[in-house]
Amino acid sequence: MTTPTSAGGSPADADATGSAMVLPGPDAAAGGTAVPLGSRGSGQFADIRRRFVRNRLAMVGLAIVTVLIVLAIIGPYVTPYNAFEQNLANTLQPPSADHWFGTDVLGRDLFSGIVYGCRLAILVGLLTVAFSLLIGLTLGAVAGFKGGAWDGIIARFIDVFLAFPPLVGAIVIVRAVGGGVTPVIVALVALGWMTTARLTRGQVLALREAEYVEAARSIGADNRRIVMRHVLPNAIAPVLVYAFTNIGVVIVAMASLSYLGIGVPPDVPEWGRLISQATPFLRVEGKAHLWLAPALAIAITTLGFAFVADGMRDSLDPKLRGGN
Amino acid sequence: MARFITRRLVQAVLVILAATFLIFLATFALGDPFASSGEKAVPPDIAQANREKFGLDKPLPLQYLIYVGNMVRGDFGIDYDQHRPVSQLLEAAVPNTVRLAIVAIIIDILIGVIAGVIAAVKRYSFWDVLVTVIATLAIGIPVFVIGVVLVANVSGWGPFPSVPRSFTVQVPWYQEVLLPAFTLAIIDAAFIARLMRGSMLEVLRADYIRTARAKGLSERTVIGKHAMRNSMIPVVTYVGVSLGVLFGGAIITETIFQYNGVGYLLSRAIVNSNAPIIIAVVVFSVVAYVLISMLVDILYAFLDPRIRLS
Amino acid sequence: MARHDKAAVPQPAHLLEVQDLRVHFQTGGGVVKAVDGVSWHVDAGETLAIVGESGSGKSVSAMTLLGLVPSPPATFPSGRVLLEGRSLLDMPEQQQRRLRGKDIAMIFQDPLTALNPVFRVGEQIAEMIRVHQDVGKMAAKKRAVELLDEVGIPDPRLRATQYPHEFSGGMRQRAMIAMALANDPKVLIADEPTTALDVTVQAQIMSLLEKLQAERDTAIVLITHDLGLVAAHADRIMVMYAGRVVEEGANDEIFTAPRHAYTHGLLSSLTRMDHARPEKLEPIPGQPPNLARVPRGCAFHPRCPFATDACRAEVPLLVPTIPGSAHRHACVHPDEVAVAHDRPREPAPVVTADTPVDERAPMLEVHDLVKHFPIKVGTFVKRTVGEVKAVDGVTLDITEGSTLSLVGESGCGKSTAARAILRLHEPTSGTVELGGRDVTGLSQSQLRAARRDMQIVFQDPYASLNPRMTVRQILSEKYELLGGQVTASTIPDLLETVGLAPEYADRYPHEFSGGQRQRVGIARAIALNPKFVVLDEPVSALDVSIQAQVLNLLEDLQQEFGLTYLFIAHDLSVVRHISDRVAVMYLGGIVEIADRDALFERPHHPYTQALISAVPIPDPAVERSRERIVLTGDVPNPANPPSGCRFRTRCWKHLQLSDDDKRRCIEEPPTLQPASGDDRHQVSCHFAGEREVLR
């Protein structure tokens, strides 16, 4: 007898999400002529999807990520308290029916804070990665496809940005742009697009010479079409895997900045802030949960994204895992 | 080879110049440190005097040129707070950071490479799963979480000095460096293990490994000599990047362990908006990073004759 | 043998004997029986050829001997390997290892990847010596240099200190051979040793192997798909299909009197360079089976014209053709096969055109086409330091509805020339006229419109179809771009024209076999009725039986639609079959151009002669009497070609000339001149002269 669980009960959803994330596929761009993706048992994505679904860790990761995203969307509507609301008469309460995770040093409800932090983490993670992708894909594709001077200039540009150790660079930028969530995203994007660009460039460079690109040219396709239709769709998979791996990294980076007191304002229940504010209580009897809750939240989130990314990589490259 | 090194050197200098200019711009955009703001009222004439003292009255490009000129001579100006030469502060902090970086990277490589090789060679075994899961966990947990746990539970125990401690307590550097180095190494070793595993698996499929086996070489020689040398190539690249970052100061780790390196220097400077220190440390980080990655590129060329001889 | 057991160890019958070997792989899709009950043997000084198409299991059985098949996923349900009577697979791993590289050595298909890129070539050979012999480092290195010298590598002392990437393909394979022979092995396994090499280099390598074999009495196991190579070099032949042996026997027996339907099918689908009038190819229909789902009974029966219920019932055993004979087959219908094989083959369809090919109007005229690629260096500012003269003055024309083949070794510029003609690479200079219209002067938008008339089929069917598009999308894209109407029947009709079922339209390329993919590529090329199609090595990536299918299709399409072909190839047998005219290229220029039969029967250029003589003919009787011209060295760098005649550095005739004549070759570049006064046969050599090289 199988009882549906939150993880096991939604293979169909997971399926759809999985393929939608990994592979935008050619059909989206092709208009009506194409056979809808996933409606058939075969097709190149079906194999990838099958391998992904068979990967237990990847499915666990997918469940985590799904829950987090749902939490991020509906969180503030279901949490019992306003995450910002301080109640100095009611600080450092232990977990109770009223306050599931207790209250923090400012008397805020910790559970609501964690949920708000989740929303912030997911938002910053996704937006940063999306913008990095946009910049990285564009510059990488231009460098790889155009070559010559374009490639040289973009390569030097990448070198300059790569010269900043990530955290140091982010500190400089956030201080230059000002405090708040937007400057954090700006900083993380500014220091996050280069690897995407390099990856894309390498892929495009290799695919530019592919015979099917030549074939497209031989039937009169212009550069724009070749890049959008023939090169990028084939180049994008490893880039997306990298981007997905990077969501966790971005979330940790934001938390690190907050931990240092940079970026997100001090009153926002951001996970890094919560951890830094709770650090003094780590060894205080009965108060360790203040620290533990946000620390676990970050760890679980990054793990979830890492599992999904690993699963994506392995299912795209069956050789590495020996799927035969 | 000489041409390769020259080219790489020119590249490094240009990158450093471009990056320092960006830093300079960003710092300038911080605004005027001597202007009145909020409750801090600064008399205009004093502000003006301060601006002149720190050279902030000159046009921006000139400031940059002066700055670069001074930098080349090792002069990073004096800090806003205690009015001490920044170069002195750096001089005190850099050796600590270098020690930390080197110890951390050695632990990294040892753990990471060994774990990665075991996972690849014994693929699908218990060890492979163990390495993969631990590595994923280690990468997912922020360094300030690991560091804080170590500070709370391990420091002050056995050979590890307690954190924080009175500045009157003298601790030999090799004891002081252990815990922060280990903290840094956990995450990096996890990256290296994963990288090594993937790269080793890739190399083990190569034709020349089949050739090595067909020669009748023992499995140890096949892995330890033929596969190792090839699969180390991407790991060297990563170690280079990592070492470059570590030389620039491990901000969070040094701060958590109150370790007197450039990272801790920077985090304290951030708290009091001490721009000359911030600029100096950032510039130092960038220069260290660029130079280290240049050296690694050259080392890389030695590992891979295909690059060396092209 | 130290032991004197009562149960006396019988004197081993053979040097190396494999008995009932089975190698299975456990996969998600079931058990793949890569090798399924195979027995063979080889004796000292003898060459056994194991022949089969991809997936026949020919390599796996040999690799098993060297412990190179990883287990898992492989399992070995049965089998014994006896080396001089000692059972190899029963030995402990350490003992087996001592034999690897010492008694049994192996050379592999791709010399590019078989040597470790980060160690010096000399070191790698010395290592092979030191694993098995008790010699010092210096002695081993010295021996490595000697070995490199023995396999004909010039300047071996320097070469030993170089890395593999500094060697050409042929040199690397020589180095591999030097390594394999370092310990004087008793058995040498050569797995497709020349497949990755040019035909003139193949001739060098094979004659080297034969020489070394004669000197050392080595047993060679030659694993190959190339029946020509087998006819020229094997003593005995074993034919494999779907993991089993279907026929084995002496070289002549297999070629002249095959008794298995598959062997016969293979031979009938071969193109032959020495046949004056091309015969119609009789391809084997269908595809080789998926090894996880091998058909019941005789694995070949679904593709076999002679199949009966008996074939489907059970796996036929290997039986002697006549009692006691070593020629054995596993066919239910050997007599029918014999009859079929002796029946003369049908001649190829004669083009029933109103005007003979050579009197028709030219469809394509290329005049003095040049394509140079600049060599650029510099980190920030790129400056041009030289040019690769890939195509350096090519002039040719192709008459309507005919086929001109452009042949030459890799790097001769044939593919670049084709791409420059189509303006897929922008030509540096020269003109191309298609149907009287100058293509080189067209603007980009005019060019796109002109692409309707000129198309290309690519070499690698795995690379030429976008993996993210269905067949329907791939084909529709052309209509979309070049302005054609796609009705409900367009795509199905097109697929049917190239012999594919219309249901395949919505599949992705990876769901097809190589031959089927190439049909899709052909469908894309012929859609919208082009006038002129470049065929860039369209069959060289395909198995022999599939090659014949595709060649027949191309010929049928040419007749049906009156297509004009430019056929790019390195395989002269295929060229002889399909062409009307042939042009031979060397280092960017045409050295000889003539009508097909004139070129093959009466070649005038020393390079053409060497090229033709290097191609083995799948007929042992012919091969025995043929003399091979073995060229020395490799093709020079096209960035820095030799002065005067570009071929002179490798020319066999140049060596025989007087000093004055030699100077002429060095100083004066030859131009194309009519050979023996025949305008249709032009040759670019100061000392051109006929030489019989075909038979």
pTM here is: 0.82
Interface of C with B (CB under 8 A): 66-68, 97-102, 105-106, 108, 110, 113-119, 127-128, 131-132, 163, 165-166, 176, 179, 379
The residue type of B283 is V
> Buried (b) or exposed (e) across C151-184, using 16+ Cβ within 10 A?
bbbeebeebbebbbebbbbbbbbbbbbbbbbbbe
How many Cβ atoms from other residues are within 10 Å of residue B114's Cβ?
Answer: 15
Query: Quick one: pLDDT at residue B47?
Result: 75
- Split at pLDDT 50, 70, 90, the class of B125 is confident
Among the partner residues A255, A261, A320, nearest to B201 by beta-carbon distance: A320
Min distance A230 CA to chain B CA atoms (Å) = 27
Distance from chain centroid for Cα B132: 24
Query: Quick one: pLDDT at residue B272?
Result: 81
Contacts of C491 (CB under 8 A, 6+ apart): C471, C472, C475, C476, C502, C505
Measured in degrees and rounded to the nearest 5, phi and psi for residue C375 equal -100, 120
Q: Which residue has the tokens 């390997």?
A: C81
* A272–chain B Cβ distance below 8 A for any pair: yes
Two structure tokens written together for A68: 């987090």
* Three-state SS at C494: helix
Compute the CA torsion angle A287, A289, A292, A294 (nearest 10 deg): -110
**What is the average pLDDT score of chain A?**
78
Two structure tokens written together for B211: 């050739």
* Three-state SS at A96: coil
C509, A66 contact by CB (below 8 A): no
Query: Quick one: pLDDT at residue C354?
Result: 57
Min distance B240 CA to chain C CA atoms (Å) = 20
Among the partner residues B25, B30, B282, nearest to A168 by beta-carbon distance: B282
Q: Are A168 and B266 inside 8 Å of each other by CB? A: yes
Higher pLDDT, C118 or A90: C118
Q: How many residues does chain B have?
A: 310
Distance separating alpha carbons of residues B85 and B77, to the nearest angstrom: 6
Contacts of C382 in chain A (CB under 8 A): 148-149, 152
Query: Quick one: pLDDT at residue C349?
Result: 60
Residue of A nearest to B21 (CA): A160
Min distance B108 CA to chain A CA atoms (Å) = 18
Contacts of B23 in chain A (CB under 8 A): 172
Residue from A68, A154, A259, A316 whose CB has the most chain B CBs within 10 Å, to mutate: A259
Higher pLDDT, A148 or C209: C209
**Tens-digit pLDDT profile for residues A269-289:** 889 888 888 888 777 777 778
Among the partner residues A165, A262, A303, nearest to B137 by beta-carbon distance: A303
* Three-state SS at C35: strand
Flag whether pLDDT at A6 surpasses 50: no
Q: Are B215 and C165 inside 8 Å of each other by CB? A: no
Q: Which residue has the tokens 């395989």?
A: C571
The residue type of C244 is R
Contacts of B218 in chain C (CB under 8 A): 97
Measured in degrees and rounded to the nearest 5, phi and psi for residue A132 equal -60, -40
Two structure tokens written together for C631: 């060229």
Two structure tokens written together for A257: 């900045």
Q: Are B208 and C116 inside 8 Å of each other by CB? A: yes
**Tens-digit pLDDT profile for residues C199-220:** 888 888 898 999 999 999 999 9
A203, A235 contact by CB (below 8 A): yes
The residue type of C142 is K
C74, C23 contact by CB (below 8 A): yes
Q: Which helix (H) or strand (E) holds C39?
A: strand C30-42
The answer, yes or no, to whether the previous bond of C72 is cis (omega within 30 of 0) is yes
Q: How many residues does chain C have?
A: 695
- Split at pLDDT 50, 70, 90, the class of A267 is confident
Min distance A33 CA to chain B CA atoms (Å) = 39
Higher pLDDT, A105 or C430: C430
Query: Quick one: pLDDT at residue C669?
Result: 93
**Pairing between strand C74-83 and C47-51?**
unpaired
Residue C66's nearest CA partner among C189, C178, C180, C212 is: C189
Two structure tokens written together for C12: 């081993």
Query: Quick one: pLDDT at residue C143?
Result: 94
Contacts of B231 in chain A (CB under 8 A): none
Two structure tokens written together for C337: 């096969």
Two structure tokens written together for C527: 């859609």
Q: Residue range B271-293: average pLDDT? A: 85
DSSP string, A269-286: --HHHHHHHHGGGTTSTT
Q: Are B305 and C165 inside 8 Å of each other by CB? A: yes
Q: Residue range A179-185: average pLDDT? A: 88
Contacts of C453 in chain A (CB under 8 A): none
Measured in degrees and rounded to the nearest 5, phi and psi for residue C457 equal -110, 130
Distance separating alpha carbons of residues B140 and A306, to the nearest angstrom: 8
Using only C-alpha atoms, chain A has a radius of gyration, in whole angstroms, of 22
Query: Quick one: pLDDT at residue A11?
Result: 31
Two structure tokens written together for B265: 């220097």
Q: Are A216 and C477 inside 8 Å of each other by CB? A: yes
Residue A197's nearest CA partner among A244, A150, A134 is: A134
Query: Quick one: pLDDT at residue A25?
Result: 29
With a cut of 70, list the residues of chain C below it in pLDDT: 1-11, 276-278, 346-358, 377-382
**Tens-digit pLDDT profile for residues A220-255:** 999 999 999 999 988 888 898 889 888 998 999 999
Query: Quick one: pLDDT at residue B37?
Result: 53
Flag whether pLDDT at B309 surpasses 70: no
Query: Quick one: pLDDT at residue B33?
Result: 59
> Buried (b) or exposed (e) across B211-229, using 16+ Cβ within 10 A?
bbbbbbbeeebbbebbbbb
Distance separating alpha carbons of residues C686 and C124, to the nearest angstrom: 44
Q: Which helix (H) or strand (E) holds C78?
A: strand C74-83
Flag whether pLDDT at A22 surpasses 50: no
**Tens-digit pLDDT profile for residues C538-586:** 998 888 888 999 999 999 999 899 999 999 998 899 999 899 999 999 9
* A44–chain C Cβ distance below 8 A for any pair: yes
Query: Quick one: pLDDT at residue C195?
Result: 84
DSSP string, C595-657: EHHHHHHS--SHHHHHHHHHSPPS-HHHHHHPPP----S-PPPTTSPPSSSTTGGG-TTGGGS
Query: Quick one: pLDDT at residue C358?
Result: 67
Two structure tokens written together for A104: 């923090």
* Three-state SS at B274: coil
Measured in degrees and rounded to the nearest 5, phi and psi for residue C187 equal -125, 135
* B214–chain C Cβ distance below 8 A for any pair: yes
Q: Are B7 and C379 inside 8 Å of each other by CB? A: yes
For C431-451, give the secondary structure using H, E and C: EEEECCEECCCCCHHHHHHHC
Q: Residue range A19-32: average pLDDT? A: 29
Query: Quick one: pLDDT at residue A23?
Result: 28
Query: Quick one: pLDDT at residue A16?
Result: 30
Query: Quick one: pLDDT at residue A18?
Result: 29
Inter-axis angle of helices B2-28 and B275-303, to 10 degrees? 160
Strand order in the sheet with C429-434: C383-399, C362-377, C429-434, C437-438
Query: Quick one: pLDDT at residue A10?
Result: 32
Residue from A65, A154, A158, A164 whose CB has the most chain B CBs within 10 Å, to mutate: A164
- Split at pLDDT 50, 70, 90, the class of B36 is low
Please give the biggest Cα pair distance in chain A. 76
Q: Are C128 and B208 inside 8 Å of each other by CB? A: no
